[in-house]
C-alpha cells in the first residue's frame, strides 16, 4: 500500500508542478522526499546565488529586526526564569511545574531541530555554520534554565500544587521554614540557574569567529561598517567611561590612589567589555546578517519561511510559563 501511494505521488507531483513556469525550491524538496534522496533535499532547498549574499541563503534562523526582537524576548524570558517569575505576568511567581517542563522540552526539540538543519545546510560555509552553532547554544541554555527552574518547584504544604523556591528568609523564629516551604536563600538558587550560562559563553566564542570573518569579507558594505562601529562604540565606549569613573571615585575617596585605583578600574573595564560582548553580540549578529543580506527586517524567503517561523515561535514557548 505504501509503495503504491508513493508511486502515485511520484507521478502526480510532476504533473501538478509542471503547470508552473518556475520550479521553486519546494518542488525539489518534494521530489527528494518522494525519492528518499535526503541529500538532495538538503542541498536543493535554497538556490545559492554567487557571492556572500547567495551563500547566506542557507541560513534559516531569525536575523535582522525579527532576530533582534527574538533576542530581546529571549533575554527577558531568561531573566524571568532566573527570578522565578512569569514572563507574561512578571508580578506573579511560576507555580506550574509540569506545564513549564512541557514548554521547555518542546522548545528544545523544535529549536534544536531547526538549528541542526541549518548547520547541515550551511556546512560548506563555515562562518554561517558556527553562527548557527552559536544560536543553538543559546536555545539549549534557555531550555536548560527553564527545565531547571521547573524542577526547583516544591510541593506546597497541602500537597495540591507547587510552591516557588523564591529565596525568602526563614520564619519569624529564625528556625521554621518561610512561606516558600524551605527558607532557601535567593542567591544560591539563582547561581544554580546561571550555571548553565557557560554553554552560551562557548557558543559566543565559536560564533564570533565566524561573524568577524563575515564582517571582514563584507567590510566594503556601508551598513556593515555602521553596525560594527555602533557595536564597538557601545562596548568599548561604556568600558572606557566606566573605568574612568571608577578610577576617579576611588582616587577621590582616598581608597584607590595610584596603582590600586588603576588596577580596580582596569578590572571593571575588562569585566564590562566581556559582559557587554556577551549580551550585545547576539544583536550585533542580527544586524550584520541583515546588512550582508540587504534585508534589515529579516523577512525570510519562501523556501526557508516555515523553518524560520517555526524556530521563532518555538523559542517563545517558555514565555507562557505560569
- The residues pairing with 237 across neighbouring beta strands, listed in sequence order, are none
> Helix, strand, or coil here: 234?
helix
Environment class of residue 317 by beta-carbon count within 10 Å: exposed (0-12), middle (13-18) or buried (19+)? buried
- Structural contact between residues 207 and 95, judged by C-beta atoms closer than 8 angstroms: no
- The residues pairing with 162 across neighbouring beta strands, listed in sequence order, are 155
Element (H, E) at 60: none
Q: Which runs of consecutive H residues, i.e. helices, occur in 56-96?
A: 64-83
CA distance 143 to 78: 9
CA distance 30 to 34: 6
> Helix, strand, or coil here: 154?
strand
Q: 164 φ, ψ to 5°?
A: -75, 135
- Structural contact between residues 166 and 95, judged by C-beta atoms closer than 8 angstroms: no
CA distance 215 to 225: 8
CA distance 273 to 235: 6
Q: How many residues does the chain have?
A: 322
- Structural contact between residues 64 and 137, judged by C-beta atoms closer than 8 angstroms: no
Q: Looking at residue 284, what is its pLDDT?
A: 96
Q: How many angstroms from the chain centroid is the CA of residue 116?
A: 14
Q: 314 φ, ψ to 5°?
A: -60, -40
Q: Which of 310, 318, 271, 275 is nearest to 79 (CA)?
A: 318
Q: Which runs of consecutive H residues, i.e. helices, occur in 122-195?
A: 126-151, 186-194
Global confidence as pTM: 0.76
Write out the three cell numbers for 55. 551563500
User: What is the chain's pLDDT, residue by residue, as a tens digit (322 residues)?
Assistant: 545 544 544 444 444 334 333 344 444 444 544 454 555 555 544 444 434 555 677 888 999 999 999 999 999 999 999 888 899 998 888 888 889 999 999 999 999 999 999 999 888 889 999 999 999 999 999 999 999 988 887 655 444 445 555 444 343 344 444 444 343 455 556 778 888 999 999 999 999 999 999 999 999 999 999 999 999 999 998 888 888 887 777 777 766 555 666 677 778 888 888 999 999 999 999 999 999 988 999 998 888 889 999 999 999 999 999 8
CA distance 185 to 67: 36
Amino acid at each position: 500500500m505504501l509503495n503504491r501511494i508513493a508511486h502515485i505521488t511520484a507521478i502526480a507531483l510532476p504533473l501538478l508542478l509542471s503547470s508552473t513556469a518556475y520550479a521553486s525550491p519546494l518542488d525539489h524538496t518534494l521530489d527528494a522526499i518522494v525519492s528518499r534522496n535526503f541529500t538532495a533535499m538538503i542541498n536543493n532547498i535554497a538556490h545559492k546565488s554567487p557571492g556572500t549574499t547567495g551563500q547566506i541563503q542557507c541560513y534559516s534562523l531569525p536575523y535582522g529586526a525579527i532576530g533582534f526582537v527574538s533576542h530581546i524576548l529571549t533575554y527577558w524570558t531568561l531573566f524571568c526564569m532566573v527570578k522565578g517569575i512569569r514572563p507574561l505576568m512578571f508580578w506573579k511567581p511560576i507555580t506550574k511545574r509540569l506545564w513549564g517542563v512541557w514548554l521547555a522540552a518542546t522548545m528544545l526539540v523544535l529549536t534544536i531541530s531547526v538549528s541542526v538543519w541549518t548547520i547541515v545546510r550551511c556546512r560548506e560555509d563555515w562562518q554561517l555554520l558556527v553562527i548557527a552553532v552559536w544560536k543553538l547554544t543559546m536555545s539549549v541554555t534557555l531550555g536548560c534554565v527553564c527545565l531547571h527552574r521547573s524542577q526547583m518547584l516544591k510541593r506546597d504544604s497541602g500537597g495540591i500544587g507547587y510552591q516557588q523556591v523564591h529565596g525568602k528568609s526563614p520564619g519569624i523564629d529564625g528556625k521554621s521554614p518561610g512561606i516558600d516551604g524551605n527558607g532557601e536563600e535567593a542567591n544560591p538558587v539563582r547561581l544554580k540557574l546561571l550555571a548553565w550560562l557557560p554553554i552560551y559563553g562557548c557558543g559566543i566564542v565559536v560564533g564570533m569567529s565566524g561573524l568577524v570573518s563575515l564582517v571582514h569579507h563584507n567590510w566594503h558594505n556601508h551598513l556593515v561598517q555602521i553596525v560594527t562601529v555602533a557595536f564597538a562604540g557601545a562596548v568599548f565606549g561604556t568600558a572606557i567611561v566606566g573605568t574612568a569613573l571608577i578610577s576617579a571615585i576611588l582616587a577621590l575617596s582616598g581608597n584607590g590612589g595610584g596603582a590600586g585605583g588603576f588596577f580596580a578600574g582596569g578590572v571593571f573595564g575588562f569585566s564590562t567589555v566581556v559582559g557587554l560582548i556577551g549580551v550585545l553580540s547576539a544583536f550585533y549578529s542580527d544586524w550584520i546578517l541583515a546588512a550582508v543580506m540587504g534585508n534589515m527586517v529579516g523577512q525570510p524567503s519562501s523556501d526557508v519561511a516555515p523553518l524560520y517561523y517555526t524556530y521563532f515561535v518555538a523559542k517563545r514557548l517558555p514565555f507562557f510559563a505560569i
